Chain A
């Protein structure tokens, strides 16, 4: 399940529900530079539908969506 991409930043969203986790992810990505990778951790399963769809719609690359029991991990890269 582990991915080779080493994240530059890690965003911990445990305990947050929708829409905050998707919005916080996009806000964190907006402050990053081209080529950087963001790791996002949530414990709300719905984010598996939301975060990748929103990130892709905004032009980011969603590299990985992982399920680890009750935790969900996303790796998203700023293109460039």
Chain B
């Protein structure tokens, strides 16, 4: 296999999402076993909001939310912080090697506003529930915390509302149809030049992030490993185009199934891994089973569909140069920070009075695991049955 063939096969062509999600499920269980925390991003984005608030002269260290999730040091000294830097680098590197980086401008200001508002709603909902598509869902259910199930359910309901909003006439743009084939692909020489340049830039990013990991390994093994895990997570979500938003939203738009099956299967393998880690002594992260989880999921579902992407979704798309998703990211930080500002009122009524339910303790370890797996299987069945609503009957195409 020549280098050009290898590149076309593995670096340019996108990977199938189901194996990619299985790999993410396995890696997320290792990540938990090694670092003691789960693969998560929004908590750290909210801390970035806290750092900005500190620069503006506030004292976020005294806010109750940051006493809860911690605001010590800088992102470079926190597991979540260096993992996220690794994720951005991994996604950027993967996108460059695919020749898939370009500044892409949104079609209208209305879309940008939609992205910002959606991002704020999603960031707010995620932090209210103490996690996004990761910590309250993909890596939350494998913590055996009951609140993650509530979050998953209400996210799907919120996505339905989001779809209704998205398809309102004032958010639609007219179709740009032409009878002549597109002339965008005529200039193959400049495409090849771009690809060569992006290859080199990708190599540069790879070297820089390995240097960064080496520097973090000098401080501690866990920080160095967190960088490497981040690179893996970021590269795989870009290569597989892993869009959690699509999994929830397209149950309602076109009845897509592939990514939803992949996410549920990824959680099955993650559950097996985290169960083992917990049996060996790791402490799972369990959060309140209160209205905050259900309400947070609902808002998150609405917000991600409006914005067009959730937290992991905007991260890799932002690295591909999609300007829209830079704005969504800024919205997420604003939304998360709003939860931190109003946590005394929000948490005091919606979260703190409610119990933290660990399914492994509540039901017994074996039963807790089996019921979690059965729940994921049931969810797959529901995805399958839902898709049948959209299927066209044989011989009656369209």
Interface size class of B (residues with CB under 8 A): 35 or more
User: B308 at the A/B interface (Cβ < 8 Å)?
Assistant: yes
Q: How far is the CA of A48 from the CA of B243 in the complex (A)?
A: 12
- Of chain A, the residue at the smallest CB distance from B185 is A68
Determine whether the beta carbon of A30 is less than 8 Å from that of B178: no
Interface residues of A in 33-66 (CB under 8 A from B): 39, 41, 43-46, 48-50, 53-54, 57-60
Contact between A50 and B246 (Cβ–Cβ < 8 Å)?
yes
B175 touches A53 (CB 8 A): no
Which residues of B sit under 8 angstroms from A12, Cβ to Cβ?
176-178, 182
Instruction: List residues of chain A with CB within 8 A of the CB of B250.
Output: 19, 22, 50, 54
Contact of A57 among B106, B163, B305, B392 (CB under 8 A): B392
A65-80 contact mask (Cβ, 8 Å, vs B): 1 or 0 = 0011111010000111
The number of residue pairs between A and B whose CB atoms lie closer than 8 Å in the complex comes to 154
Residues from chain A with a CB closer than 8 A to the CB of B324 are 17
User: Nearest A residue to B252 by beta-carbon distance?
Assistant: A19
B195 part of interface (Cβ distance < 8 Å): yes
Given contacts A23-B253, A49-B17, contact A58 B398 (CB under 8 A): yes
Bound CA–CA A23/B249 (angstroms): 12
Complex Cα distance, B173 from A6, in Å, reads 26
Contact partners of B185 in chain A: CB under 8 A? 2, 68, 71, 73
Q: Is the CB of B398 within 8 A of A49?
A: no
CB-based contact A54/B254 at 8 Å: yes
- State the Cβ distance, A80 to closest chain B Cβ, in Å: 8
In the assembly, what is the distance between CA of A13 and CA of B397, in Å?
A: 25
Interface pair A41/B254, CB less than 8 Å apart: no
Interface residue SS majority, chain B: loop
- Among B6-43, those with CB < 8 Å from A are 12-14, 17
Q: Is the CB of A17 within 8 A of B184?
A: no
A69 B191 Cβ-Cβ under 8 A = yes
Q: Are B256 and A50 in contact (CB under 8 A)?
A: yes
**A66 shortest CB reach to chain B, Å:** 8
How far, in angstroms, from A57 to B198 measured CA to CA in the complex? 35
CB pair B176–A17 under 8 Å, yes or no, is no
Contacting residues of chain B (361-398) with chain A, CB-CB under 8 angstroms: 387, 390-392, 396-398
Cβ-neighbour of B100 out of A2, A13, A39, A45 (below 8 A): A45
Contacts A12-B182, A15-B106, A58-B397 known; list 20 others, CB within 8 Å: A6-B181, A12-B177, A12-B178, A15-B111, A17-B111, A17-B309, A17-B324, A17-B325, A19-B253, A19-B254, A20-B172, A23-B254, A46-B243, A48-B241, A54-B250, A57-B254, A57-B390, A57-B392, A59-B396, A69-B194
Interface residues of A (CB under 8 A from B): 2, 6-20, 22-24, 26-30, 39, 41, 43-46, 48-50, 53-54, 57-60, 67-71, 73, 78-80
25 CB-based A-B contacts, threshold 8 Å: A2-B185, A9-B177, A9-B178, A11-B177, A14-B107, A15-B105, A15-B107, A16-B173, A17-B309, A17-B324, A20-B166, A22-B250, A43-B102, A44-B322, A45-B241, A45-B317, A46-B241, A46-B246, A49-B243, A49-B258, A54-B254, A57-B387, A70-B99, A70-B320, A73-B185
